[in-house]
Amino acid sequence: MRNLYITDLKRILKDKLFLIAAILAGVFALINPLLNKILFSALELEDFLDGMMNAKSMFFGAFLPGDNLGLVMPILISIIVCKDFSHGTVRNKIISGKSRGVIFLSHFLSSASVMCVLMLAHALLTLAFSLCFFPYQSEKFTMSDFGYLLLSLLFEMIVYLAIAAIVTFIATLSKNMGICILLYLALSFGLSIIGSVFMTAGAFLDKSSSWFGIVEFINALNFFTSSLIGSGVTYTAKDVLYILLSPILTIAGSLALGIHLFSRKDLK
Amino acid sequence: MEYVLVAEGLTKSYQKNRVLNGVTMHIKKGDIYGFVGENGSGKTTVIRLVCGLIHADEGEFTLFGVKGNSPDIRQARARVGAIVEAPSIYMNLSAQDNLKMQCSILGIKDEEKCKETLAKVGLFDLWESKKHAGDFSLGMRQRLGIAMALLGEPEFIILDEPMNGLDPAGIVEIRELILRLNRESGITFLISSHILTELALVATRYGIISKGKILQEITAEQLEQVCKHTTMIKATDNEALASRLCALCGEDAVTVTEGGVCVEGDVNLNQIFGEIIASGIQITAVNTYHSSIEDYYLSLVGGGKHA
């Protein structure tokens, strides 16, 4: 497993698409805060939006799976995973006696490692550039904020593990770059749109109504909008359950089903 | 006798199309097994099955004595090196990086081994080159694929159409490499090829497959015997020649044609010529023919007349 993981990691790092993803991570991190600053200055909204736009919201916004790097990177990584099939190099692994389960897990772990590290770097760069123009938050930064930040980062990483599991599942079973890109885009846009619709609906609903609870639950399960992560100052036990439930189920389901289907699949 | 691969009744269908129809084959340790068959006969499907890329519908095979459906088959596969259809190489990487990747899969730490293997296939000049495999010629990719198959020091190498895309010099190099590895390291080979005359220069045993079924397994010596010699003799009096030859070689071996009299099988020309000349018949021309593996293959699959 270790040998395969190292091989897959090297393969991703040597691919030009990884370089593109790394450059985009830097570019998006610089552009987003800069554009916001320019836009707010030009429209003279700085005083009006004082406290609403801050480095904290930009930092957590950098993790959104439907936006910027959060949308582009899984696609780039899925293309790299697909290349193992299109180049036929996956055959070398099978012929050398590696099990298909281990090959699938290695694809997942290498994709997840690269995705998590790049997303983290992107978000930290976004935070660094944002702090040049905006305060971290309107309140004073305390140790409890630091704890909240670290816990939020852990949740974001779990979300990206789930996205890596989806990407590995689609790429390994479709083995086709075109299909893989289309499926991921459809999934990403579909869940982002559904998330937006439910968030809008939630804003109009009476908080005491039973419908609000249902909408809130559906919103929380949709990790493509990650509405609960980084949006407050503390997490309740219910928040943690809602945040972790769907990513963990997604990881477990994608890996179990993916390994099962991949083990039975004929390869060319 | 120790068998490296034994297949019994392998069948495989893709949807309703039956590709393998009960393939039974035996490869002994030390064989260079020439796997011969027309396009779509099932050669690559058998190779894919053995390599674990696809699953059989029925039948089973054993690799180094381990059954194909046993969990231990992966250990047996680790003793195999293979090129299936096209070389499995990373097109965006150099030859050196490709070999290092394969070393990484196999857990080999020794970089010198990559150099040695690249030299073995005649690509040592590419060691320092940054040129990507995607920019290599077909023949260079083929050799790089063979180098990658050799890295794990396999005891059994499967090469699917290894001569594809190679120039004449490359074909000779690969042929010599196969013979050397077989002779010096005792590596067993399964080589599928359309170039039967090329295969005939290396194979010690043949498996002839057609329409998903093995028609015959035959050793190179047996094939040599069944590929008949024909001697065409022309004389001033062909009828007298024919009757004399019938007496000497038997009626079944002799055929009278417009061009002369044909004698099939190995004959002692010195003795025959002596007898004919002693009978007063004057020989005007002699030609000898030897039917090839291609002729034999065609006679077996019904694609032509056996000479």
Q: Which of B193, B220, B247 is the last residue of a domain?
A: B220
Q: Where is pLDDT greater, at A103 or B283?
A: A103
Using the Cβ of B66 and the Cβ atoms of chain A, whether some distance falls under 8 Å is answered with no
Check residue B24 and report its DSSP letter.
Answer: E
Q: Are residues B210 and B249 in the same domain?
A: no
Q: What is the pLDDT of residue B27?
A: 93
Edge to edge, the sheet with strand B156-160 lists B80-83, B156-160, B188-192, B32-37, B205-210, B213-219
Residue B164 lies in a domain: yes
Helix (H) or strand (E) holding B83: strand B80-83
Taking Cα atoms as reference points, which of B215, B218, B275 lies closest to residue B244? B275
Chosen from B55, B75, B90 to mutate, greatest number of chain A CBs within 10 A: B90
Place of tokens 């590995």: A168
For residue A268, the chain B residue with the least C-alpha distance is: B53
User: Cβ of B105 and A98 within 8 Å?
Assistant: yes
**Is there a single domain that holds both residue B76 and residue B94?**
yes
Question: What pLDDT score was predicted for residue B307?
Answer: 30
Closest CA of chain B from A265, distance in Å: 7
Q: Tell me, yes or no, whether B14 and B129 share the same domain.
A: yes
What tokens appear for B189 in the block? 């080979």
Predicted local confidence at residue A178, as pLDDT:
87
Interface test with A, best of B75, B83, B104 (most A CBs within 10 A): B104
pLDDT digits (tens, 9 = 90+) for B217-245: 888 887 777 776 778 888 888 888 888 88
- Tell me the pLDDT tens digit for each residue of A77-86: 888 888 888 8
Asked if residue A51 has pLDDT above 70, the reply is no
Q: Are residues B122 and B202 in the same domain?
A: yes
Token couple for B148: 């990658």
pLDDT of A257 reads: 93
Q: Does A6 touch chain B (CB under 8 A)?
A: yes
B275, B280, B285, B291 alpha-carbon torsion, rounded to 10°: -30
- Residue B297 is assigned to a structural domain of this protein: no
- In this structure, what DSSP letter does residue B281 have? P
Q: How confident is the model at residue B281 (pLDDT cuts 50, 70, 90)?
A: confident
Domain check: are B189 and B281 in the same one?
no
> Do you know the residue count of chain A?
268
Same domain? For B138 and B244 the reply is no
What's the pLDDT tens digit per position in A65-79?
A: 877 888 888 889 888
Query: Where would I find the beta strands (DSSP E) of chain A?
Result: none
Yes or no, beta carbons of B104 and A98 under 8 Å apart: no
**B98-140 residue pLDDT tens:** 998 888 888 888 888 888 888 888 788 888 888 898 888 887 8
Which of B166, B191, B220 is the C-terminal boundary of a domain? B220
Angle at A223 between CA A220 and CA A224, to 5 degrees: 125
Query: Are B211 and B41 in contact, with CB atoms under 8 Å apart?
Result: yes
What average pLDDT does range B43-59 have in this prediction?
Answer: 91
| B 222-241: CB under 8 A from A | none
Domain boundaries, chain A: 2-264
> Is position B298 within any domain?
no
Percentage, residues of chain B above pLDDT 70:
97
ipTM of the complex: 0.74
Inter-residue contact B174 to B182 (CB < 8 Å): no
Instruction: Indicate the burial class of B220 (C-beta count within 10 angstroms; 0-12, 13-18, 19 or more).
Output: middle
CATH number for the domain harbouring residue B273: 3.30.70
Q: Is residue B55 assigned to a domain?
A: yes
> What are the helix (H) ranges across chain B?
43-51, 73-77, 95-106, 111-120, 138-150, 168-185, 196-199, 220-226, 238-249, 269-278, 293-301
Please tell me whether residue A93 adopts helix, strand or coil conformation: helix
The pLDDT confidence band at residue A42, using thresholds 50, 70 and 90, is confident
Q: Which residues of B touch A79 (CB under 8 A)?
A: none
Return all residues near A32 (Cβ < 8 A) that are at least 6 apart: A58, A61, A62, A68, A126, A129, A130
CA B37 to CA B303: how far, in whole Å? Answer: 11
Residue B299 banded pLDDT, cuts 50, 70, 90? confident
Q: Which residue of A has its CA nearest to B148?
A: A92
Q: How far apart are CA A153 and CA A99, in angstroms?
A: 33
Where a domain ends, among B220, B237, B261? B220
Across the interface, do B89 and A16 touch by the CB < 8 Å criterion? no
Structure confidence at residue B304 as a pLDDT band (50, 70, 90): very low
| Total number of domains constituting chain B | 2
Q: For residue B306, what pLDDT is reported?
A: 35
A12 neighbors A114 (Cβ within 8 angstroms): yes
Tell me B204's DSSP state: S
Instruction: For residue A90, give the DSSP letter.
Output: H
* Long-range own/partner contacts, residues B238-244 (CB < 8 A, 24 or more apart): B240/B279, B240/B281, B241/B276, B241/B281, B241/B283, B244/B275, B244/B276, B244/B279, B244/B281
With helix as H, strand as E and coil as C, how does B84-132 read? CCCCCCCCCCEHHHHHHHHHHHHCCCCHHHHHHHHHHCCCHHHCCCCCE
For residue B8, is pLDDT > 60? yes
Q: Average pLDDT for residues A10-18, to the nearest whole number?
A: 88
- Residue-number span of the structural domain to which B165 is assigned: 3-220
3-state helix, strand, coil in chain A (%, to 5): 75, 0, 25
Give the nearest chain B residue to A106 (CA atoms): B105
**Interface check B55 vs A, CB under 8 A:** yes
What does DSSP assign to residue A226?
-
Structural tokens at position A129: 């550039």
pLDDT bracket for residue B71 (50, 70, 90): confident
pLDDT score of B305: 38
Q: What is the rounded (10 degree) CA torsion for A180, A185, A188, A192?
A: -170
Find the CB nearest B92 among A15, A98, A268: A15
Residue among A148, A139, A140, A150 nearest A233 (CA):
A148
Mean pLDDT of B3-20: 89
For the segment B91-104, the average pLDDT, to the nearest whole number, is 89
Q: Which residues are B205's β-sheet partners? A: B33, B219
CATH number at B141 reads 3.40.50.300
Check if the beta carbon of residue B110 is closer than 8 Å to that of residue B183: no
Position B171 scores a pLDDT of 83
Pairing outcome for strands B156-160 and B188-192: parallel
Judging by beta carbons within 10 Å of its beta carbon (0-12, 13-18, 19+), is residue A200 exposed, middle or buried?
exposed
Mean residue pLDDT of chain A comes to: 85
* Position A165 confidence tier, pLDDT thresholds 50, 70, 90: very high
Task: Say if B145 falls within a structural domain.
Answer: yes
